[in-house]
Structure 1
Amino acid sequence: MSTETNDRATNDRATNEPATNEPATRSEPVLSRRETLVRALRNASYEILPFKKTEAAVLEHVPQDVPLTVTTTEAKGLGPTVDLAVRLSRHGYQAAPHLAARLVRDDAHLADLVAELREADVRSVFVIGGDAAEPAGTFPDALSLLQRLDEIGHPFSTVGVGGYPEGHGHISDDLIEKALEQKAPHATQVITQLCFDADTTVSWARTIQARGVGLPVRVGIPGAVSRQKLVRITAGIGLGQSARFLKKQQSMLWRFFLPGGYSPNRLIRRLTPSFGEPHSNLAGFHVFTFNELEKTQTWRKEWLARLEAS
């Protein structure tokens, strides 16, 4: 049996059989678990990169009811990110640009960005600090930008902030979690960085809720991306940006270069029991597509078909 076939068989068991630590007579949580997973997959959001062919690929392969986030890079600046979000919004998509605080020059620049996005009916943003070594202006971090957005009248109905189940490469765990606590009142959801250990993600989600962060958490997972595609993507985002990306995503990369690569199914299967739990706030998936949109959409549809047929 192939690895993929075995994954599917195991997944089917995971969504139909009671967990071994639950009484056999309690059938309702099993049904709720499957229904919760179906909802999480149906409501999954996709992360895309603002390359030349991205818009056409989205129009061809992604349904309009799939929320999108558009990444930004220090090398290319905010322009391509905002431009793509605007164009996709005009096509009927909910497209949230990554607003990197360290790339926003001042209040006037922010006002221009907000006006451009609101004119195109962009209602969602994902606010990050960004990787620029030095801030371009008056916003050194995500919190300062979030606070300013509040001060100018909450122009966006959905505001995402980042979560770090495995910590941050340059910031201590305590500081990064305190920063999340400070950002939470200004946000509507948390989107996590990639983490391949389900237990780590679940433990982190419970910890932040215990610390008062009650926002819904979208779990960042890799889509159906090939190792060849990953190499092309990292080569295309600029040398400095690629180096930082590779450094931050080492736990992902070595899995891609093992024989047979990896399957996102394994991670989803291990996360499944914790969706719907009252102490984790896991609310959905955020799929890092690396612009492998056709494969990612096909993979998600196949998952949903199996779950809904069971």
Structure 2
Amino acid sequence: MAVVSRPDAGLPRAGRAQLAAALRDATYEVLPFKTAEDKVLADVPTDVALTVTTTEAKGLGPTVDLAVRLTAAGYRAAPHLAARLVRDRAHLADLVAQLREAGVDRVFVIGGDAAEPAGDFTDALGLLEALDEMGRPFSTVGIGGYPEGHGSIADELVERALEAKAEHATQVITQLCFDAATTVRWARTAYERGVTLPVRVGIPGAISRQKLIRVSAGLGLGQSARFLKKQQNMFWRFFLPGGYSPDKLIQQLTPAFGVPGSGLEGLHVFTFNELDTTEAWRQRWLARLP
């Protein structure tokens, strides 16, 4: 896979230190496919925290099961809890009990893309409020941020929802955005509107185009179509000779890390389960940074 020979060249000293900290503390997102657990165990150090996605086609079961197994293996794994797939409060209580019994102490709460809710919960806010009423059973609660908008929900509604959800959460993880200036501008606006939670910027891992095709097919046609609708400028970037490297995006984001009022304090890597190349990419950066 082709990468820039010295992607850290030209970064100021302060920026290099901030980036090194962000890369050391980066989190990885994995898809709950059959081979995911073996790939994590083979390629990812246990000090890298993980999130496990939920797909509409597979439901919550594989997500929760994988998060439980990875936690037992020594990882900090947070399942995506998609509100529209949770039937009712009893179902939520069962999920919480299963996770807490397994030692899972973090979750990422989303609304989910199911066309129709499975029951009582129609959005992430309702599920977050229910978790609060249960005594806030998780120490780390992530919510989603949308620098380029949601695709099917008006921007103002998305931002008002973020403000409402923020008081029930501990961090924001953004969706993929390939324009660093857009992400920085969105984060500053959110901060000015009172969302002062730490923001983890969602970036792609080092991904081959062949792998992306396979993962996209595995998501199912409906899920992939909605994903493409929300990330209209995404897929073509991966269809470069050899695949995609996030080096340029990292370079452009670095000056904003740790700047007061920016909110940007970490990285969240969408690996598409290409964990070996993504971890090798992260280690190459760390080897060059203080």
Which of 189, 209, 218 is 1:236 aligned to?
A: 218
Structure 2 match to 1:269: 251
Equivalent residue for 1:41, pick from 23, 31, 53: 23
Q: Distance in 2 between matches of 1:136 and 1:272?
A: 41
- In 2, Cα distance between equivalents of 1:238 and 1:262: 23
Q: In structure 1, how many angstroms separate the alpha carbons of the residues matched to 2:230 and 2:162? A: 19
The residue correspondences of 1:285-296 to structure 2 (distance < 5 A) are 285-296=267-278
Contact kept? 1:218, 1:284, Cα under 8 Å: yes
Look up the match of 2:108. Answer: 126
Q: Structure 2 residue aligned with 1:12, among 8, 32, 48? A: 8
Partner of 1:176: 158
What is the alpha-carbon distance in structure 1 between the residues aligned to residue 19 and residue 8 of structure 2? 12
Task: Give the aligned partner of residue 236 of structure 2.
Answer: 254
| Alignment partner of 1:151 out of 107, 130, 133 | 133
Among candidates 272, 287, 290, match of residue 305 of structure 1: 287
- Check the 8 A contact 1:98/1:126 in 2, yes or no: yes
More displaced stretch, 231-240 vs 177-186: 231-240
Structure 1 residues 265 and 191, CA gap change in structure 2 (3 angstroms): same
Query: What is the distance in 1 between the residues matched to 2:175 and 2:279?
Result: 20
Q: In the alignment, is the contact (CA less than 8 A) between 1:216 and 1:282 conserved in 2?
A: yes
Aligned partners of 1:259 and 1:155: how far apart in 2? 46
Root-mean-square deviation (CA, aligned residues, Å) is 1.3
Give the superposition deviation at 1:245.
1.8
The aligned length equals: 290
Q: Distance in 2 between matches of 1:280 and 1:171?
A: 24
| 8 Å Cα contact 1:57-1:293 kept in structure 2 | yes
Alignment correspondent of 1:18: none
Q: Distance in 2 between matches of 1:8 and 1:100?
A: 40
The code of the aligned residue for 1:13 comes to A
> Shift of the alpha carbon at 1:261?
4.2
In the TM superposition, residue 31 of structure 1 has moved relative to its aligned partner by 2.9
What is residue 60 of structure 1 aligned with on the other side?
Answer: 42
Partner amino acid for 1:125? Answer: V
CA contact (8 A) 2:173 2:201 kept: yes
Q: Alpha carbons of 1:262 and 1:105: their partners in 2 closer, same or farther (altered >3 Å)?
A: same
1:240-283 Cα distance to aligned partner (Å, 9 max, x none): 11221222222111112244543200000000111111011111
SS in 1 for 2:8: helix
Q: Which one has the largest radius of gyration?
A: 1
Per-residue deviation at 1:3? 6.3
Give the TM-score of the pair, scaled to structure 1: 0.91
Note the 1:62-81 alignment, pairs <5 A: 62-81=44-63
> Which one has the bigger helix percentage?
1
Instruction: Name the aligned partner's letter for residue 150 of structure 1.
Output: D
Offset of residue 14 of structure 1: 2.6
How far apart are the structure 2 equivalents of 1:121 and 1:249? Answer: 34
Structure 2: how far apart are the matches of 1:12 and 1:119? 43
Q: Identify unmatched segments of 5+ residues in structure 2.
A: none
CA contact (8 A) 1:45 1:69 kept: yes
Alignment correspondent of 1:24: none
- Report the TM-score, using the length of structure 2 for normalisation: 0.97
Q: Which amino acid aligns with 1:12?
A: D
Q: Offset of 1:41 from its aligned partner?
A: 0.3
CA distance in 1, matches of 2:33, 2:2: 32
CA deviations 1:10-40 (Å, max 9, x no partner) are: x33332xxxxxxxxxxxxxx43221111000
DSSP-derived class of the 1:250 partner: coil
Q: Which amino acid aligns with 2:101?
A: E
What corresponds to 2:124 in structure 1?
142
Give the percent of matched residue pairs that are identical in Structure 1 and Structure 2.
71
- SS at the partner of 1:251? coil
SS in 1 for 2:62: helix
- Quote the Cα distance in structure 2 between the aligned partners of 1:129 and 1:211: 22
In 2, distance between residues paired with 1:270 and 1:143?
32
Amino acid at match of 2:57: A
Contact 1:234 1:245 in 2 (8 A): no
Q: Residue 110 of structure 1 corresponds to which residue in structure 2?
A: 92
* Separation in 2, partners of 1:13, 1:224: 19
